[in-house]
Structures are given as structure tokens and as C-alpha cells.
Structure 1
């Protein structure tokens, strides 16, 4: 029996098992102790237990104190540092048991030692990773939600708490569908069930725009990305959620602004056409009046009654022609000098909004865009919609001019012009404009486009001149055109 027990003890090579006499000297030493601590049985038998303790513990009397405590309590367990033969230290799980005979007399001590250095390092690494994960969850700007394959929430980040209005303990353990509008909850459960059965993905692995619901019942748009990982055979899903309310509102405002600009463009185009037609129609009306007056003089005061009736009809026709001419002149005066809604507008915001709208599709067309908005220019006094219409028109013309060029570069810049005025420039690397064409570029119905009506730049000139500014085009060295126009700074009107 003793031989079998010895074999069992020696076979436990992952444990250092040894015995001490009542004075603390080694009396039995297994192979596990030799492997873990480095001393052979011949080297260690008879050695004092203090040889296994670090110098600081020996100086503090810990070896003697441990045996005394084990004697008093019968058994002690602890985790503390021990020393190998080569002087290296390791963290050990230590059990010391007092051994007594049938009369209760102390016969010695049994010690079981297990090296737990790697285990504790692994546990510490897990703790560090957990702390790291918690720090990420607490600081990541996007909301993060971790859930299991049943949709049960396991983790709810600080950003998610702020976004949805729920505390983490109110959400953990509940189905994530609680954060969705009622109409979407059953669909979510169905998508998850279908994925688990068939592997058919609906949301996982992609970014989707969906609707979420806050604690107060408010619905709001979000971008949702879901990732998946398998841990010990169980699927874990992590959802990353971004509130896009501001972006959706910005897009809505941009669409409204675009519609407003299109409407103003149409009205301005109609105004310019009316002005041109008024100018053209006024000339034949004047000629008609002159011919009628001449015919009236040629008839004179003839006694013939028929001629008198003709003369009266001619006189009435002349009067109506004059009246038509007055109506046309009033129409032209209204179009040329109509009132505009001048307001103080921040120049950088005005240009940025118009640039964003005008550059739609520029990136896809391979156009490199640079903006150079001068600082400190402050406010301008303009009709915002009309000036933004000018900027958008010039940008769209520039993009059109670069369709066939290899080098596609566009620059939008602002700078001080003459005192009290600011210059806005749109510079392209297109094919350029011939000098003869530039001279009449801003006239109505003058165009360089095959399918253009020639009203856009004419409208721009009308708008800029209504603001007291000027607009012109310069050739750019190396090819391209620089369109420039000026608008007044706010202090021009306060001088």
C-alpha cells in the first residue's frame, strides 16, 4: 500500500508534493517537486523549508509563521511567491497541512505546491482585455450593443445609453428589439431566425439605414452595422449604431435649397426673357404708332364721312399702341430693377452651401476640387438665394467645360477686391473660351454649349449687377477659365 501511495505521489508531476518534519526540514520529495523547483531528492532532503522562500519573506519570518499557523489551524492555503534552485521566482498555490498521529501529536507537515504563474498571467491578460473592452465601450463615439444569437443584449455601451436613453442594467438580458419601433420588431426576429437556419444575411456584414426608437418613444434614423464572431460554438453579434438625424436633416435642407434655387433660376430666366422681349417688342410698337400717326396726317380733315371714320379708327389704334408700349416699358423696368431680399449673410457659409450643391457628381466625374475661403471677410449684404444661384451656375458650367479634358481641377476662392467689396472666383482647367466669345459671354442667348439656351450667364450678370457688383471671365494660363464676380461687404451699406 505504501509503495502504491509513493507511485501515486511521484506520478503527480504537475504538483510539488513533499513533507516536512515538525522542525520544518524536508523528509519526502516527489518528482513533481523536482520538476517544478529544480532540486533533486538527494539535494533537498534534510534542507530547511526556508530555502523555498524569497529572501524578503525569510527575513520577515514567514516560513516559521506559516508552519505555526498550519499547526494551529490544521491547514492553510495561499498564493505567494516561491524560489527555484536557480534563484528564479514563481507564483505558487500553496497548501500546508499539519500531520498528526492517533494521539494528536504533530508528526510534521505535508505541502502541495502548484505553479500558477502562467495561469495568473492568463487571468491578468483576460482582465486587461476586459478592462480594455470596457474602456472602448465607454469611449467609442458610436453606440455599441453586444448580443447573443437569440438577440439578448449582453453589453450596452455608454454611447448607447446616451443615444437611446436607457441605462445598461435596463437593457442587458432583454431582447434588442426593444430598441426598435413596434413594426420592425417581428421583422428583426424573423431575419435573425432565418439567418441562423439558412445563413442568409439580411443586415450582418453590411451597413444599413434603419429606424430606431428612444426610451421616450421618439423614432430616429440610424446607420447600423452588425459584426459576428463565434466563441466556444456560440455566435456573438456586435451592433455599431450611428445617429444620422443631423445628416438626414442636412440632406433634406439641401434638397429644399436645390428646389428653391431651381425655382429662382426659372423665374430669373423668365424675367430675362421678358426683359429681352420687352426691348424687342417695344421697337415695332413704336414703328406702328409712327405709321398710324403718319396715316392720320395724310387723311387730314377730309369731308368724306368714310375717311373720317377711318381716321378715327387709326387714332384709336395709335392710342392703344402707345398704351401697349407703356405696359411693355413698365414690365421691363420691373424686371431690370425689381426689389430683392437683401440680408446680412456670412460669406463663408453662403459659399460653402452653394459649393456643396454645385459639386454634386464632381467626385464621380474625377474632378479634383480645392477651396480657398479667405478668413476675416465677415458678412456680405446680398440676396442669399440669388448669389448662391450664381455660384452654382458657374460651378456647373466649369464642370461641363472639363468633361473632355484630362486634367480636371476646380478651385473656388474668395478674396478681398477693391475696398468694401469681396471677389468670388470659380477657376477651371477646361478648354477655355475664345476672346471674341468672352466679350459677349454675358449677353442673353449667347452660349458656348451646343444644347444651351444662353440665359444662365445673362441671369448671373443681372443678379450681380442688381447687387452693384460686376462679373467677368479671364483666360487661365495653360488652359481654362476663371469666372469672377464681386459682391459688397456689409460695411458698404453702413458707411
Structure 2
């Protein structure tokens, strides 16, 4: 008796609705939660067919479901559970999760239904969908703004390139362009970058693929534009002779390890950067900042112009009278006719296609190397990829 009283108390105080019916679909018991959910008093439903709590077409077909189950054993809901709509006394529908169990008790078959109201969950899902849609619209708006900025910068770049060929006062023209680029583009780029980061943070709980995709596009576009601006600034500094060589003794093996670890984070999926140093001597007297800039530029190109699942080999060596830095990739290679122009400013090989770039990176590398009395060389084929070698005399 004590167990029966405990069971009855559990049923009466359960959060979810619990309803039992006989083999004919007649309601035998209903707990208070189910009464509140459907809007009936217990006396109004006990003895009635369970179909009164169902909307069409299930209301008309329910008895047929029971007959089919008794005849064939094929369950439509029994033992399976599913989401469907419930019918309240006032005619309103609500979403619910229904699980039905078959119970044999005192020689009788009883079906117990467990009803969980999904109304709040569905409302939350709808609000989440609306918010995600709003975020996606915001991302698309930022993307359009970024595209407009990219187009404006491209038009400005084309105008400058044309003017560079016509005007004799190259320095004055470039200074004007760089000043415009710095003031007109860096501020909106910073704004776009900040907005993208905020959108990314606010959208984290929702894991919406469209939002993630568009935010990634914004960040990638900002990074490309920042690289373009930096390349122009570096070239201007070189031509104005503002770059000064600062020779200091440093450990090139340690520097190479640090760079390879940093660049691995920027590599494409399954791209591997392998670094090794040859020789017992690791200390070299060069400008560490300029050396690092050159290596990062070469590895960035190797990543950009190589596919996924490829290896990039980065090697340093200190011999008796030379310091050698080599970066080899298995990428698209450089056509033979283009290699003689490779270190020329604004030049890009004809097989680069739509891969972004300014044509300034290798020009900057060669000029940094020259400032340290070094030499930059390239060996490349379409079939076997590209090897860049930087060599510096050891004093």
C-alpha cells in the first residue's frame, strides 16, 4: 500500500502530463498536469475517447491506429515517441512531445501516455531563428560595405599605377597616395574589423554556418587590405631610405623555430611547415627584424600558392662564410618567362589567377636582402614548385 501511495503521489505531482487509456482508447486516468495542459477538469475527460485531445486528422484516425497495432503489432507512436500537436478544450493547438508505453496490469492491457509541452521550446527556437536571420543580414551588410571599400581601393590603385608611368615626380605622387590610403582606409578597416569581431562573439552561442562564413569573409578581406597597405608603406620607406640596417647577433635556429610555429597557424588545412637547421653554429650577425620579415614573406607566398595537403620546407644553415635561408614549396610554380621579372615591383606571374597579391612582396624581400649585402635567388618549375634561397656573407 505504501508503494502504491508513493506511485500515486509521483503521478499527481509530475511536471509532465500522464494519461492512461484502455485498449479501446478510453481515458481511465489523467493527472493534474495533463488537465492544466489541455484545459479540462478530470471528470470531463475520464471515460471519454482519447481522440478528444487530438486535432484532425489524428482525431478521426486514432481508433484505427489502435486496431492496427493490436492486429499487426506495427507501432505508429507506441514505444516510439514523436512530436505532434495537442488540442486544448478552447480549440487552441500546442506542440508537444508524446511518448506512449504499453503496460500489462492484472491481465489487462493499458497504454500510458507521457505528454511534454514544447510551446516554450518552439517559441525560443523561433526567436533564435529570427535573431540568427538578423545577424546574417547584418553580416551581409558589412560584407557589402567591405566589397565597396575593396573596389574603391582597387580603383585608387589602378589610378596610381597609371599615374606612376606618366609623372616624373614619383615620390610626391606615391606619398600623396600613401597618405590618402593611410587616412582614408585604415580607419574604416579598423571599424569593419571590430564589427566583425563583435558579430563573431555575439553569434558564438548560435553556431550559424552562414554567419560564420560571412564573418570569415570579412576578416579575410580586411587582412588582405591591410597587407596591401603595409606593402605600399614598406616600399615607400625603402625608396625614401628610411629603412636602416641594425646588425645584432641572434640565434637563427631559434628564430626559425618561432616563425615556423607562428606560420603553421596560418597554413591551409593539412599543410605542414617543416623547419630544420644545419650546422653546429646558430648565432649570426644580421638584422633580425629584416630577416624575419623576409622569411615570413616567403612562407606566406608558399602557403598562398600551394594547395592543401602539401609540405613547405624551411631550412637555415650557417657554414664557414655564408648564412643560407631556403624556403621550398610544391605549389603552382613560376613560368620560366616570368622569373626574370620576379623581384620587380608590382609584377605578378601570369599563372596567379585570382589569388590576391600586390606584386610587392618579393621586391621588398630582395631590397631588404640587398641592404644586408645578401642575395635572393629563385628556382622554379610548374611541375616541382619553387625554391627561394637567401644568402648572406658572414663577416
TM-score for the superposition, normalised by structure 1: 0.37
TM-score for the superposition, normalised by structure 2: 0.46
Structure that is richer in helix per residue = 2
- When Rg is computed on C-alpha atoms for both structures, the one with the higher figure is 1
Q: Which has the higher contact order (CA 8 A, sep 6+)?
A: 2
